[in-house]
Amino acid sequence: MLSKWEGTPCSLPSGSDEVLVRGVDRAAPDRPDAVCMLSVSVDPAHRAAGHAERLLTEVRQRAARHAPRGVIIPVRPTRKPLYPLIPIDEYAAWKRPDGRCFDPWLRTHLELGARRLGIARASLVIRQPVSRWAEFLGHPLPGPGDHPLPGALVPLRVSADGHGTYTEPNVWVHHPAGPGAP
């Protein structure tokens, strides 16, 4: 639950990292303004069975009873790892030939009535020594620059100071509460 969200894009947290910090740093009010879902996933073996839609609908209905501003989500687009060099703004605007949103997960939200609020440019930031990234990847990172990360939305940026930083962007969406909620 978000203690304070004024309902505008400019009052959103910077991303999932800030949502967690706000949740720890601030005592929850008696009645939160909005619900924020940080991670929603369905096992690949169970996708396309309507589970995600049912989950989002249930959360929206509960938010309508408890959080007047509804549900906000920093969405991690599922196909973005296939296009890590494309800026998130451009990727989020891509359309299929039928005019629907290109990304399946973002499309699910929009077709359930959510609206895009903006981009969380640094939703999740992970900074680690290059040695730790090399261990994770199973190969050395011999110099500064942008390096591909399997499954990542953007490349890992390795700096001359011996650290690598993964700065994941997400797309903020808002599912309204109230009579319009499914």
Mean pLDDT of 151-159: 97
* Helix residue spans in the chain (DSSP H): 16-25, 51-66, 88-93, 104-111, 130-137
**CB 141, CB 108: distance < 8 Å:** no
Higher-confidence residue of 30 and 66: namely: 66
pLDDT value at residue 154: 98
C-alpha to C-alpha distances, 18 to 7, 23, 43, 97, nearest whole angstrom: 16, 8, 26, 36
Higher-confidence residue of 123 and 22: namely: 123
Tokens of 38: 């940080």
80/86 Cα distance (integer angstroms): 8
pLDDT digits (tens, 9 = 90+) for 45-65: 887 888 888 888 888 888 888
Give the model's confidence band at 31: pLDDT under 50 very low, under 70 low, under 90 confident, else very high: low
This prediction's pTM: 0.88
